[in-house]
Structure 1
């Protein structure tokens, strides 16, 4: 061409292909990241559906999606033209396409919002990733917009709820796993705090019903909730992953923290802990002990119950014996610290007078520990029952 064999004013024809040597064909591909396929598999096992939206040719998009494990049939590929035709027919037609679609090819920028809104109408909790300015509307329309921190435009970042600093899809999957761990730990802390608090309320209700003196003073309740209970609250929040978080289906978006399982467990702890503490308090009074001595025993009983409940709270359904307590050394140290603080308060002049507590014998400690283990056993039994007969609703 450069030599002028094919002048620009002459039409190129096949018969002019003379004196040429075929060297080969050159193809280009944008390869998948090594971790991409594993990340998609993790999403599938955790119940998270992944869809790919691209401007590439449908054949190219399907080849990539099949390699990723996103789609195994051409029927799962939806083109931009099909979306346009469906949009003309109405939202129901678009929703029908997005229910089956896993790959969207030859998609125009404005159709990303169309897909996002349709998935929301189909009852999905939608997260959209993107980096360009044309992704901004979809990032804003999604429940969670995730922008790329490295290659993303400022418009995309401002429209998103989250920014991934390494532009890696696998980081999003890791974020899902970490989010599930944090949510599980939040439920554990709430259960522990609320259940022991409700147990104290139940204790006072029993005392009022049976016309008994108040089992605990206000300052003693404050000590229990802020000092001995507070240390373990913080430690429980650092509970490591139980394992298998990404093998569970997503929880319903409208599920309340106080679901049926939580209510059952709180009621169980309230009855067992509150009931047994009242029984110990009543027994001390019936033996002729002073009100101060009976309250002292009731307070120690509540501290030991807190220790028993916190270790049973390390998992909602798994047995406490399924993982070593040493996996959360902060909880072990926190529990020991709670007991040592209680013991120190008994021997500390001034503080013991304010709290109206005093030392007890080793034999009494052993007796009360045995009673506290009843609460631990009750929670573990409830877990066993719920593992065999899961909560419905």
Structure 2
């Protein structure tokens, strides 16, 4: 009975399921059915992994929609030819949804998961730091793609050719954003060998999608695209490299920026 007030006052009150009293079990937030303290560690590990994966998906969703919005609105404001047609946006959404619901859900735990200090109670996946990081990712990618389109137009490329380069780079940029929002505690390329079969299935799906859209004449015409040629492939690779450099710069700054820690509770 005396444990009940302490269990209520704790952030997460834990009671024994077999040996604990009825009052303690009612007051606790968690009940250990097997009365094993090892279950607490396993539960915290799993909870942190789930929380991390939710945050990864949240960052990705906010980040990936910024360049889509930018590539839709800015050409209209500047009276450029449309860069993204409705069919392009639909295809991008078909890539984004599986990334959130399957790829990030299948992510393994981050490096040093159990070495981290507890987060503050008020910390949210929609906090200012999270949203700022996501928006900056998307803004940088949008700026790179818009600058690339401006350069291609100045070089005399047609609207369809420029659209092919920008859209193809954006599709691969979705893949970059997935990698960039995985484990933030180390450089993105360290996670290339991490096991996540759904990630590589999605990479293959994206590559096949691009090959089909650019290689099949009827589909290319339907999508409003044109063969980019070797020059277009080189331009797309350069834009992709600039986007990768920007994303990795943000990850480096994020790793070195001090994080808020949970305040100690008064005794």
Match of 1:125 among 11, 26, 30: 11
Structure 2, gaps ≥5 residues long: 262-267
In the alignment, is residue 145 of structure 1 matched against residue 16 of structure 2? Answer: no
Q: Which residue of 1 aligns with 2:162?
A: 294
In the alignment, is residue 116 of structure 1 matched against residue 7 of structure 2? Answer: yes
Q: Which residue of 2 aligns with 1:176?
A: 44
Match of 1:380 among 248, 258, 265: 248
Give the drift of 1:147: 4.2
Q: Which residue of 2 aligns with 1:355?
A: 223
Distance 1:136 1:358, change over 3 A: farther
**CA RMSD for the aligned pairs?**
2.5
Q: What secondary structure sits across from 1:327 in the alignment?
A: coil
Distance 1:269 1:386, change over 3 A: closer
- Asked if the contact 2:16/2:32 (under 8 Å) is kept, the reply is yes
Higher relative contact order (CA 8 A, sep 6+): 2
Distance 1:185 1:136, change over 3 A: same
C-alpha distance in structure 2 between counterparts of 1:202 and 1:272, whole Å: 11
Distance 1:263 1:134, change over 3 A: closer
- Asked if the contact 1:231/1:338 (under 8 Å) is kept, the reply is no
C-alpha distance in structure 1 between counterparts of 2:27 and 2:21, whole Å: 10
In the alignment, is residue 225 of structure 1 matched against residue 93 of structure 2? Answer: yes
Structure 1, gaps ≥5 residues long: 1-109, 149-165
Give the drift of 1:184: 0.9
- Asked if the contact 2:212/2:219 (under 8 Å) is kept, the reply is no
C-alpha distance in structure 1 between counterparts of 2:99 and 2:204, whole Å: 10
C-alpha distance in structure 2 between counterparts of 1:318 and 1:366, whole Å: 29
Give the count of matched residue pairs.
260
Q: Which residue of 2 aligns with 1:340?
A: 208
C-alpha distance in structure 2 between counterparts of 1:346 and 1:261, whole Å: 39
C-alpha distance in structure 1 between counterparts of 2:165 and 2:225, whole Å: 9
Give the drift of 1:220: 0.6
Give the drift of 1:133: 9.1
Q: TM-score, normalised by structure 1?
A: 0.60
Distance 1:377 1:305, change over 3 A: same
In the alignment, is residue 237 of structure 1 matched against residue 123 of structure 2? Answer: no
Q: Which residue of 1 aligns with 2:233?
A: 365
Distance 1:361 1:289, change over 3 A: closer
Give the drift of 1:176: 0.7
Match of 2:117 among 249, 271, 277: 249
